[in-house]
Structure 1
Amino acid sequence: MKTMKLGSSMLDVPVVAVGCMRINSLDKTEAERFVQTALEEGANFFDHADIYGSGTCEEIFADAINMNADIRENLILQSKCGIRKGMFDFSKEHILESVDGILKRLKTDYLDVLLLHRPDALIEPEEVAEAFDILESSGKVRHFGISNQKPMQIELLKKYVKQPLVANQLQLSITNATMISNGINVNMENDSAVNRDGSVLDYCRLNDITIQPWSPFQYGFFEGVFLGNNKFPELNQKINEIAEKYNVSNTTIAIAWLLRHPAKMQPIIGTMNVNRLKDCCTASEIYLTREEWYSIYRAAGNILP
């Protein structure tokens, strides 16, 4: 597995991260096999959130990997907080309480990365800054970032927070590529030109913030996967054609398409299938040509002006 620096930090991470949102769908034996396979593939970056399985996913992961001090040294653990039932909460009290809960469930003393999950309309960035300072000075969190935030929200946070924000987790896939298409269709009179995110892709590149695409196989908002879906015949034909050329699976090509972008993104894969996990990891060895990348982009219905 190839590695990269996470944002402006010196933290080396695999280019593919393992999302654990669905690990509670596995029994103990399956979960153990899944995490062991990830480690064998060099995918030792595991992404969590305090709301996944209402916290049970973190507990299941810790048990599956038989967490102890020696094992912990070989893991990179990221989790997210800020989503509560019926609201978002970036208050100092909630952030600190959430991290304590996360650490307890993961059976660890620290997180490598903490992300603020969904933008809180009532954010008081001074409180976030206080929470980050406490978490950093106590050794509970080593790096910080955000999720689903646009440039001006990040700028507001950066005005008060002294720690670098190393990652921004955003929805992105071949079929959900508005952050790419609005940069291609500048000043054009079509839907692809609509800037829905404040040019977050360019912003993150300019500010050394690693974009972590979530749901890299989904279309719409959790409407389903595009691979093998008869709603996307042209796209699947093109992906399969390129997959055959490289002698890999269509899953591999879908992740390779994200990795080909020069923004140096780190996709968060959510599969709990060990074979698809391996296919995702194989993507780090595939470098699509410019022609192949654009042919997939167009086959998904994205237009060039």
Structure 2
Amino acid sequence: MQYIEFGKDKDKVSEIVMGLMRISEMSTGEVLDLIETGLEEGINFLDLADIYGGGKSEEVIGKVFTENPSLRTEFFIQSKCGIRCDPDFTYFDFSRDYILEAVDGILSRLHTDHLDSLLLHRPDALMEPDEIAEAFDRLYKAGKVRNFGVSNMTPMMMEMLNREIQFPICANQIQLSCAVTQVFDAGFHMDMQCDKGIMRDGGGVLEYCRMKKIPVQAWSSLQYGYFQGTFLGSDNYRELNTVLNRIASEKVVTPMAVALAWILRYPGATQAVIGTTKSTRVREAAKATEVRLSKKEWYEIYLAAGNDLP
């Protein structure tokens, strides 16, 4: 397993992150086996959100920690807040009071006294940076949160927050996979009259994060579209799978490991979030950090996913 430095204390965290969105219906024994497998493979980073399973995903992890207290110190725990799932409709809320309320709920469900990282979950167009700064300051001084980050934010959104908050943004979690490549497409097709030249990330989010030393966390790292399914083995991505299978055979790993290695090949600090609930898959994913793709292999995978270069 390879590691990056994360947050203000430069914690050593794994490049592979275990995303726990889908564990809400699993037993504590099944989840214990899952995260212990990750730990055996060197994965020490767990990613949650208060909306996953309506809070049940955090509750399951909380029960695991209650039954196995020593495990809490083995993991770097990240959760997210800001998406309000009200009976009428879902919306975003980064108000000071809601952030404070949400974190208290997260800590209660997790049966822990602090989060190692808190991300604002998607952008709130009505956010007030000074309110966010006050919430972060209170949470940090109370010992409830150690690091603060964002998800799906553009460079200018992060710049706006940076004018008020006293903490460096610890991460930006964005959608990225071999089959979801918009953050690369616009750069390749800069100044060209084609759809792929459209800046869909607000303009250079990868480059911004790299310059500011903000780790990029890739969610849906094995998916295509917006939760449309995995591209591994999909008939929609036959050429991509042919290339992934060939490279996997050459490097004696699985296609999953190659697909994740493609994400991790980006020169900035990068993590790949996996959402599997199978221990065997966790072991496959962990091998990704042992794979170093050449530039030619990286571009071959990019093109095999249906992309082009000018």
- Residue 65 of structure 1 and its aligned partner are, at CA, apart by 4.3
* Partner SS for 1:24: coil
CA distance in 1: counterparts of 2:71 and 2:247, whole angstroms: 38
| Cα displacement (A) at 1:9 | 4.8
Paired residues, number? 305
Q: 2:225 aligns with which of 214, 217, 220?
A: 220
SS at match of 2:147: strand
1:257 offset after TM fit, Å? 0.6
The answer on 1:184 being equivalent to 2:188 is: yes
User: 1:54 maps to what in 2?
Assistant: 54
SS at match of 1:50: coil
Instruction: Give the alignment of 1:273-292 within 5 angstroms.
Output: 273-292=278-297
Q: Which amino acid aligns with 2:122?
A: R
Whole-angstrom distance in 2 between the partners of 1:279 and 1:248: 8
Q: Which residue of 2 aligns with 1:45?
A: 45
Matching residue of 2:23 = 23
Counterpart of 1:56 in 2: which secondary structure?
helix
Residues in 2 aligned to 1:22 and 1:50: alpha-carbon distance in whole angstroms: 13
Query: 1:14 maps to what in 2?
Result: 14
Q: Is the 8 A contact 1:8 1:209 kept in 2?
A: no
What is the CA–CA distance in structure 2 between the aligned matches of 1:25 and 1:219, rounded to whole Å? 24
Distance in 1, matches of 2:289 and 2:7, equals 18
Q: Report whether the alignment pairs 1:102 with 2:117.
A: no
The Cα offsets for residues 58-112 of structure 1, whole Å up to 9 and x where unpaired, read as 1111223446653222210000000002211101111011111111111111110
- Counterpart of 1:130 (choices 131, 134, 141) is 134
- The answer to whether the 8 A contact 2:5-2:11 is kept is yes
Q: Residues of 2 paired with 1:241 and 1:8: CA distance?
A: 40
Report the more deviating stretch, 16-25 or 67-76: 67-76
Alignment of 1:1-305 (within 5 A): 1-6=1-6, 9-66=9-66, 70-85=70-85, 86-197=90-201, 198-305=203-310
Change (3 A) 1:213 1:297: same
Greater displacement, 119-128 / 60-69: 60-69
Separation in structure 2 between the aligned mates of residue 234 and residue 256 of structure 1, nearest angstrom: 18
- AA aligned opposite 2:180: N
Cα distance in 1 for residues equivalent to 2:107 and 2:234: 39
Displacement of 1:12: 1.2
Q: In 2, are the aligned partners of 1:46 and 1:76 still within 8 Å (CA)?
A: yes
Give the counterpart letter for 1:262 in structure 2: P
Task: Give ranges in structure 1 of 5+ residues lacking alignment.
Answer: none
**Cα distance, 1:131 vs. partner?**
0.3
Instruction: State the alpha-carbon separation in 1 of the partners of residues 93 and 124 from structure 2.
Output: 6
Give the whole-Å Cα distance in 1 for the aligned partners of 2:40 and 2:66: 15
Which segment is superposed worse, 126-135 or 1-10?
Answer: 1-10
- Amino acid paired to 2:281: R
Q: Indicate conservation of the 8 Å contact 2:7/2:147, yes or no.
A: no
Structure 2 portions without partners, runs of 5+: none
CA distance in 2, matches of 1:83, 1:182: 28
* Closer, same or farther: CA 182–8 of 1 in aligned 2, 3 Å: farther
Tell me the SS of whatever aligns to 1:23. Answer: coil
Q: 8 Å contact 1:2–1:15 — kept in the other structure? A: yes
CA distance in 2, matches of 1:126, 1:288: 43
SS at match of 2:199: coil
Rounded to whole Å, the distance in 1 between the matches of 2:267 and 2:223 is 22
With normalisation by structure 2, the TM-score equals: 0.95
CA distance in 2, matches of 1:105, 1:38: 22
Instruction: Assess if the C-alpha contact under 8 Å between 1:14 and 1:45 holds in 2.
Output: yes
